[in-house]
Amino acid sequence: MSEAIIDAATLLQVPEITSQFTILSCYGNLAFVKEAQEAVKNLPKLQEVIIFFDGDQGGLDGIKHVSEILNQIKEGGLLSACPERSRSEVEVTAVSTPGKEDVNSLFVKYDKDCLLQLINERKPVELFSSTENILTEETPDVSAFRQILSEVEKEYFEKLGGLDTENPNKITYETQTARYIIKGGLPRQLDKMLISLDVQHLETGLKYRCRLDLYEEKQTRKEAREAAEKLDLRSDLIEADLSLLCDLLEEHRENGLETNNPQDNDPIPDFPTQSKCKGFLSQPDLINRINELIGKSGITGEFNNRLFLFIIASSYKMPDTLHALIQGSSGSGKTHLLGKVADLMPQERVERFTRITDNSLYNYGEFELMYHLLCLEDVDGLKEEALFAWRELISNNMLRSSTSQKDDNGNSRGAKRIVRGPMASMCATTRGHIYEDNMSRLFIIAVDESPEQTARIIDYQSKLAAGLIKKEDENEAKEFLQNCVRMLKPMKVINPYADKIKLPQQAHKIRRLHELFLCFVKQITLINQYQRKKDAQGRLITEKEDLQTAVEIMFDSIFLKVDELDGSLRQFFENLKTYVQEKENPLNYEFTGREARQSLNLSKSALHRYLSSLIELEYISVSGGYQNRGLKYKISYWDNVAKLRNHISQYLNNQLNEL
């Protein structure tokens, strides 16, 4: 039973409520009309009446009024439509609506989950009435007392505004008696309130300085007395101010601790934005629609990679997070791609670093990285200790370290530091093959360095400079995608087809790759959560379409796990083979380093790195020449990468067709 018709209309929008309850509006807190009473009497299987009124005094009065009428109906034996149940078995419960809120306002601010939680926490109306202290008639004495109490509370809350915390290391509080300045911040331990305090006279500016623990009553009384003597003020007023100051500082400290809580939700979009995002997330072919929006946000080309990275990045708020390593040669745009995708995530959950020092990850707060997206713009500059910490945070979702720290007496003692995950991550590198331990823990994504992609980038840059592309449209697409990610909720997923898909056995470290594949499928299901069915336990059910999408997006990454050449090296070798095949006798054709460098438009250092890797892997060999005048090379292993790709693609598609 709701108080207003708009509240009833709001409840009707929640399937989880309408599937269990019948909704009835009372048309006012004290307007339980006869028609509504007759409707309640005639319910054949009535088990419970839940009163969900506004969170004000009128709502409390309405709960009492409606519950009294319902009790009269029960006691009078008027529930004739449900003879199989005794009158006493029909429960009357009430929902504790937060102050100054109603059903509709709660739905707008916090979505349906808030309504479901409040309904689940309902309590019997008798208990509700006693705890909420519903008063209908008051004696003059009680009314006068309430007026005095209201004035005292008003004065008290006016004083709350006097606490100036703009500078956390210099908190000021001013009353009609004196000005109080707290220097150096507040202790984080909740069992003490030790501060450095200046008590300043409002007119003369004279100060009394001390260091005291506001939790020590005797010390506080003593310091108030000495401050009063020096400043020529009343000690009882200073003592009262210090008592109130202690309450304010407690509240400020607790609010600070709550702000640092990693479980705090992302900023909630307004109701129109929520509706727009939900409508978009409920549309068919959602993944391709997201890819189109990513393109409108300013990411040119990289059609598969940008979507792959977006799905990986959006896993930051889920229990099973994903991680990506972007490979590419210098100047290929890998860091630009990483940054553009990171811009599509809610920025309050993104941590971007150019470099991290050896022990910096160990020194974060316990929950600072939990449910965040960590972006490392260049892994090549990280030392082994930093790589190890990052790797362990990916694998174990936690860093544990033993360190030394001084206690309150200045003695060094061993201490345990913990940094908790999970967190998602994206990073970029030019030398993916040297991070053997890391490559098996994350998805490998090779930047598109083809001439076609270069042409797309140049065309985009030209249109942007000519004013043909509006930055406002790109920013609008970014903000919309950020809000869509905010609307995604962590949920459990079951995949009934998990044992039906087998990855190629020749893949590198297939155990971890198979786990990554299943997590990626789960993330696609979570993105489609507004369209997927749920089981009896409320878990999302993966559909065949999710596996098909995962295989299509992940195929290049799966192939890179099978191929012993990394992404940029494979692209170079394929371009080199294409160049040599244009010659008369490609099987025996010899080429020099300068010839390859000029033909493929590469720098000397990049070519040297590629040739050294291919010689080491025995794909090419040195066939002649001299070290001081230039060596000659020859392709010694002509692999058929197209045939291998087709074989793997057919292998996976055959399994999908059999689902």
CATH of the domain at 625: 1.10.10.10
182 domain-assigned: yes
Backbone region of residue 397 per phi and psi (left: phi > 0; alpha: psi in -120 to 50; beta: other values): left
Q: Do 119 and 23 sit in the same domain of this protein?
A: yes
The confidence score (pLDDT) of residue 551 equals 92
Contacts of 84 (CB under 8 A, 6+ apart): none
Decide if pLDDT at 483 tops 60. Answer: yes
194 domain-assigned: yes
CATH number at residue 365: 3.40.50.300
Q: Do 346 and 388 sit in the same domain of this protein?
A: yes
The pLDDT-based confidence of 127 (bands split at 50, 70, 90) is low
CA atoms within 13 Å, Cβ hemisphere of 9:
7
Length of the chain: 659
Q: Do 69 and 92 sit in the same domain of this protein?
A: yes
pLDDT tens-digit readout, 154-171 = 454 444 446 888 888 899
Contacts of 128 (CB under 8 A, 6+ apart): 63, 93, 94, 96
Domain that holds residue 324: 271-478
The pLDDT-based confidence of 541 (bands split at 50, 70, 90) is very high
Mean pLDDT, residues 189-213: 92
Q: Do 250 and 361 sit in the same domain of this protein?
A: no
CATH number at residue 109: 3.40.1360
- 154-158, 363-367, 472-476 — which is least confidently predicted? 154-158
312 domain-assigned: yes
The confidence score (pLDDT) of residue 621 equals 92
The confidence score (pLDDT) of residue 431 equals 72
Q: Do 253 and 279 sit in the same domain of this protein?
A: no
Q: Do 83 and 105 sit in the same domain of this protein?
A: yes
Q: Do 160 and 287 sit in the same domain of this protein?
A: no
224 domain-assigned: yes
Number of domains in the chain: 4
Contact 490, 317 (CB under 8 A): yes
> Around Cβ 107, how many Cβ atoms within 10 Å?
20
The pLDDT-based confidence of 153 (bands split at 50, 70, 90) is very low
Decide if pLDDT at 221 tops 60. Answer: yes
Burial of 220 (0-12, 13-18, 19+ CB in 10 A): buried
Element (H, E) at 351: strand 350-353
DSSP state of 270: P
Decide if pLDDT at 402 tops 90. Answer: no
217 domain-assigned: yes
Looking at the whole model, is its pTM more than 0.75? no
- Residue 321 or residue 269, greater confidence: 321
Q: Which of 72, 97, 132 is the last residue of a domain?
A: 132
Q: Do 575 and 637 sit in the same domain of this protein?
A: yes
pLDDT tens-digit readout, 567-609 = 788 889 999 999 999 988 888 899 999 999 999 888 888 899 8
651 domain-assigned: no
Q: Do 352 and 219 sit in the same domain of this protein?
A: no
307 domain-assigned: yes
CA atoms within 13 Å, Cβ hemisphere of 181:
14
398 domain-assigned: yes
CA 186 – CA 183 distance, rounded (Å): 8
Q: Do 82 and 224 sit in the same domain of this protein?
A: no
Q: Which of 259, 280, 302 is the last residue of a domain?
A: 259
